[in-house]
């Protein structure tokens, strides 16, 4: 189309704009249609996959974690909503959401003992005891995924790493670096004394006492003044090698 001056030119330009606009709308519509078509092919492929491997996903935790890793690489979140294809066809949504509910229960029940911090291994063990009758094994990876989903609800569910161990936090109190270092130190024997903290971490006594007192206030530490040498010991049930499994059987 040659550009023409005058009214004719304006009319041609207007007509061209209209045509481009219609083309643009059509392209958008084609894209939506294409998306829908892709979606239905994908869905049928997923159905085939589900028919053959649904049980594998349920029963085999290694396969499950592989599945999740691949989903993460691709950029989909199979646990995002219960209405998605993944939950509908593979049924893994319910598995994780139920796990989440059970984890919340266990954390609440053990809170009087450990103040809201529980060892991940202990949590998995309690979980397995609870789910004795259910089909399928629950791995630590499953627990981690369920907890990462719970984070959205704002009550402070998080997994923190202290040294070699992983702890699950279920209260909104923030733990700063000092607290983490004390917890790491406590992993050895399950308790620390003020002297030990000062010596090993080279802190001033004020700093050590402050941190220990905060942990005490939050309920994460327990005091033991009964030792022969008279020094006060601070015990941390969440990292101690003595597990507190007895008494929780009635969950």
Which residues bind to another protein, rule: CB under 8 A?
28, 31-32, 34-36, 38-39, 41-42, 45-46, 48-49, 52-53, 56, 60, 63, 66-67, 70-71, 73-87, 93-94, 96-98, 100-101, 104-105, 149-157, 172, 217
Nearer to another protein, 181 or 218 (CB): 218
Q: Nearest to residue 169, comparing CAs of 238, 223, 230, 69?
A: 238
CA distance 47 to 5: 61
Supply angle C-alpha 55, 59, 60, rounded to 5: 110
For the bound state, the minimum distance from the C-beta of residue 44 to another protein, rounded and expressed in Å, comes to: 10
Nearer to another protein, 54 or 165 (CB): 54
With left for phi above 0 and alpha for psi between -120 and 50, is residue 148 left, alpha or beta? Answer: alpha
For the bound state, the minimum distance from the C-beta of residue 23 to another protein, rounded and expressed in Å, comes to: 16
For the bound state, the minimum distance from the C-beta of residue 8 to another protein, rounded and expressed in Å, comes to: 30
- In the three-class reduction of DSSP (H, G, I as helix; E, B as strand; rest coil), residue 134 is classed as coil
Nearer to another protein, 7 or 74 (CB): 74
For the bound state, the minimum distance from the C-beta of residue 133 to another protein, rounded and expressed in Å, comes to: 16
For the bound state, the minimum distance from the C-beta of residue 138 to another protein, rounded and expressed in Å, comes to: 16
The number of angstroms, rounded, from the C-alpha of 106 to the middle of its chain's C-alpha atoms is 16
153 DSSP assignment: G
Burial 146-163 (b: 16+ CB within 10 A, else e): bbebbeeeeeebbbeebe
Nearer to another protein, 154 or 241 (CB): 154
Nearer to another protein, 201 or 209 (CB): 209
For the bound state, the minimum distance from the C-beta of residue 166 to another protein, rounded and expressed in Å, comes to: 20
Report DSSP letters for 209-233, one per residue.
Answer: HHHHHHHHHTTS-EEE--STT---E
Residue located via tokens 């958008």: 28
Burial 9-44 (b: 16+ CB within 10 A, else e): eeeeeeeeeeeeeeeeeeeeeeeeeeeeeeeeeeee
Nearer to another protein, 98 or 195 (CB): 98
Q: Distance of CA 245 to CAs 29, 32, 66, 127, 137, Å?
A: 60, 55, 31, 11, 19
Nearer to another protein, 20 or 63 (CB): 63
Residue located via tokens 């080279």: 202
For the bound state, the minimum distance from the C-beta of residue 123 to another protein, rounded and expressed in Å, comes to: 16
């Amino acid at each position: 189309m040659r550009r023409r001056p005058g009214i004719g030119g304006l009319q041609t330009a207007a007509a061209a704009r209209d045509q481009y606009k219609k083309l643009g709308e059509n392209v958008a519509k084609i894209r939506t249609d294409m998306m829908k078509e892709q979606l239905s092919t994908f869905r049928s492929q997923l159905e085939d996959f589900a028919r053959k491997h649904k049980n594998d996903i349920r029963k085999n935790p290694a396969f499950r974690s592989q599945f999740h890793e691949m989903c993460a690489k691709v950029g989909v979140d199979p646990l995002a909503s219960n209405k998605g294809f993944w939950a509908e066809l593979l049924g893994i949504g319910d598995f994780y959401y139920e796990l989440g509910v059970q984890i919340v229960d266990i954390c609440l029940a053990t809170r009087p003992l450990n103040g809201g911090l529980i060892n991940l291994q202990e949590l998995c063990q309690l979980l397995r005891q609870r789910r004795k009758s259910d089909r399928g094994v629950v791995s630590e990876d499953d627990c981690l995924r369920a907890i990462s989903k719970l984070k959205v609800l704002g009550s402070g569910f998080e997994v923190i790493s202290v040294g070699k161990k992983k702890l699950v936090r279920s209260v909104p109190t923030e733990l700063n670096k000092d607290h983490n270092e004390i917890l790491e130190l406590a992993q050895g024997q399950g308790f620390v004394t003020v002297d030990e903290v000062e010596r090993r971490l080279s802190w001033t006594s004020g700093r050590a006492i402050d941190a220990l007192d905060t942990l005490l206030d939050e309920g994460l530490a327990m005091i033991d003044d009964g030792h022969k040498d008279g020094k006060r010991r601070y015990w941390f049930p969440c990292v101690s090698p003595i597990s507190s499994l007895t008494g929780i059987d009635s969950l």
